[in-house]
Amino acid sequence: MTWLGVDLGDARVGLALSDPELTFAHPYGNVQAYGDSFRALDDVITVVEDEGVEHIVVGLPLLLDGTEGKSAKKARRWCANLVRRMQTLAEEGDFALARVPTVSLQDERLTTVTAHRQLLDANVGSRRHRPVVDQQSAVMILQSALDSALENRK
């Protein structure tokens, strides 16, 4: 079983994968979004198929007070589009997996700030942050979901 973590952005969509035991998340890479994360849908679906992903965790950018703003609503629309696109592909026989993965949203408040801090702590120069910060944020989103799932299994 493998889970995929997704950090939505207009320039890049960061991706992270879990290990098969659903214990830890690791960076997978970025998908170019060219100014609109919706452009990355098909590339994300390719990763889902190639890696046999069973569950997708997408970051939900809540406001600091916990309410949903414009970005959170966009993340919800992105998830709905992702599910709809995968279902359409499955109905047409063009989806490589036996079933469409489930999709959930995970609170991602402050993940980008924390990801930048982690990269600085790892002596990654600030100029080199841009290409990796999105996937590091995806790792944090996915790891949080994996930790919650582990707690619920206990």
Going by their DSSP bridges, the two strands 55-60 and 3-7 should be labelled as: parallel
Q: Report the half-sphere exposure of 100 (CA within 13 A, side-chain side).
A: 17
Which amino acid, one-letter code, is at 86? M
Looking at the structure of the chain, the number of domains it has is 1
pLDDT at residue 118 in the model: 62
C-alpha span between 74 and 71 (Å, rounded): 5
pLDDT digits (tens, 9 = 90+) for 129-145: 566 778 888 999 999 99
pLDDT at residue 58 in the model: 97
The parent domain of residue 96 ranges over 3-153
| H-type alpha helices, the chain | 41-51, 70-91, 111-121, 129-153
CATH number of 111's domain: 3.30.420.140
Using an 8 Å Cβ cutoff, are 26 and 52 in contact?
no
pLDDT digits (tens, 9 = 90+) for 110-122: 566 565 566 566 6
